[in-house]
């Protein structure tokens, strides 16, 4: 099989041919202006990682690195079949839904004495044991337990083959973000987030890129943030960020696609429309980043240090915080292990 285009090149390739999703220049400029005014805030830094991940162990511990490996390996498909049937996990008096249920469940397990962050344990964990770790506090279980079990045990075995921890595994790539992502995708099958579009093999690597970004965030929080080539990474093509980009006018869906999503139609992984949503989201954020850097250079005379990862770190919580205002924009739904 041909080698797929990397995510940035995939985004450009898809955006240039897309039939139902379009990057809007005016909206791109508007979002870049918004970020320009926020450029000195902690929201647009990697050091805000702990603030964005309040349920993670302290970044000073290597346990935090194994924690993000587990969480990012199982970071997919939290949306409920019905909005009224959300999986919920309550931890220290706060009830979480969506992705945060996974974070809360893993941290809850650690407090209960379950060695969930140790590869020797999670490489051999049974489906029943994982079901207990990920148990919901209501009638709705976390979706795709079997798939989460498969990818977690697979990932654990890979870590055991490479020194027994995520840190020892990732150290093979030096401090280069691109090499880290390539290593993850090469060694761990569940991270190979690829599709075919217009006869070309493309990639998104959402979970692989977010794993590298989380590693970077932890090292920044520890004062060891010497990861190079972070500019090579793109945004993480998921559900919420495309919704935010449409809301902000930087991305536009065709009327036909909008109606399809409003009707609740599920899009299969690899469906042309699903690939266009994800690919155009990547290219849209690249355009925002480029315009933001141009603004910084022209108005301040400085080099811009805000990359696509930091923009994603801003847009994902932005979408969560403004979910009521965005309710009229449908989120696409694809049940898969990639996001």
What positions carry a catalytic annotation? Answer: 238
Residue 1 Cα to chain centre, angstroms: 26
Residue 60 Cα to chain centre, angstroms: 22
Query: Under 8 Å CB-to-CB from 135, ≥6 apart: which residues?
Result: 89, 105, 141
Give CA–CA dist 104/76, Å, rounded: 15
Tokens of 297: 């250079």
Give CA–CA dist 214/284, Å, rounded: 22
User: How buried is residue 97: exposed, middle or buried, by Cβ count under 10 Å (0-12/13-18/19+)?
Assistant: middle
Tokens of 222: 């520890």
């Amino acid at each position: 099989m041909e080698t797929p285009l990397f995510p940035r090149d995939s985004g450009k390739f898809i955006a240039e041919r897309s039939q139902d999703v379009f990057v809007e220049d005016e909206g791109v400029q508007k979002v870049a202006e918004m970020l320009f005014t926020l450029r000195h805030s902690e929201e647009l830094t990697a050091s805000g990682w702990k603030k964005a991940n309040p349920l993670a162990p302290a970044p000073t511990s290597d346990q935090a690195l194994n924690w993000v490996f587990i969480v990012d390996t199982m970071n997919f498909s939290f949306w409920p079949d019905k909005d009224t049937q959300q999986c919920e996990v309550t931890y220290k008096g706060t009830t979480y839904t969506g992705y945060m249920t996974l974070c809360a469940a893993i941290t809850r397990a650690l407090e209960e004495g379950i060695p969930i962050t140790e590869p020797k344990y999670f490489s051999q964990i049974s489906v029943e044991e994982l079901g207990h770790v990920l148990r919901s506090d209501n009638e709705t279980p976390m979706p795709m337990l079997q798939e989460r079990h498969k990818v977690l045990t697979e990932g654990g075995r890979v870590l055991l083959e490479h020194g027994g921890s995520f840190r020892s595994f990732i150290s093979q790539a030096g401090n280069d973000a691109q090499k880290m992502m390539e290593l993850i995708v090469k060694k761990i099958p569940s991270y190979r987030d690829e599709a075919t579009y217009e006869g070309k093999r493309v990639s998104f690597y959402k979970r692989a890129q977010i794993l590298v970004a989380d590693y970077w965030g932890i090292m920044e929080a520890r004062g060891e943030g010497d990861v190079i080539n972070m500019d090579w990474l793109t945004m993480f093509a998921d559900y919420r960020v495309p919704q935010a980009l449409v809301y902000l006018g930087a991305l536009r869906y065709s009327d036909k696609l909008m109606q399809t999503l409003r009707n609740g139609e599920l899009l299969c992984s690899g469906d042309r429309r699903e690939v266009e949503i994800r690919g155009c989201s990547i290219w849209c954020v690249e355009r925002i980043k480029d315009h933001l850097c141009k603004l910084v250079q022209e108005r301040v005379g400085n080099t811009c240090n805000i990359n696509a990862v930091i923009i994603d770190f801003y847009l994902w919580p932005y979408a969560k915080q403004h979910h009521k205002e965005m309710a009229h924009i449908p989120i696409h739904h694809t049940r898969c292990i990639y996001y």
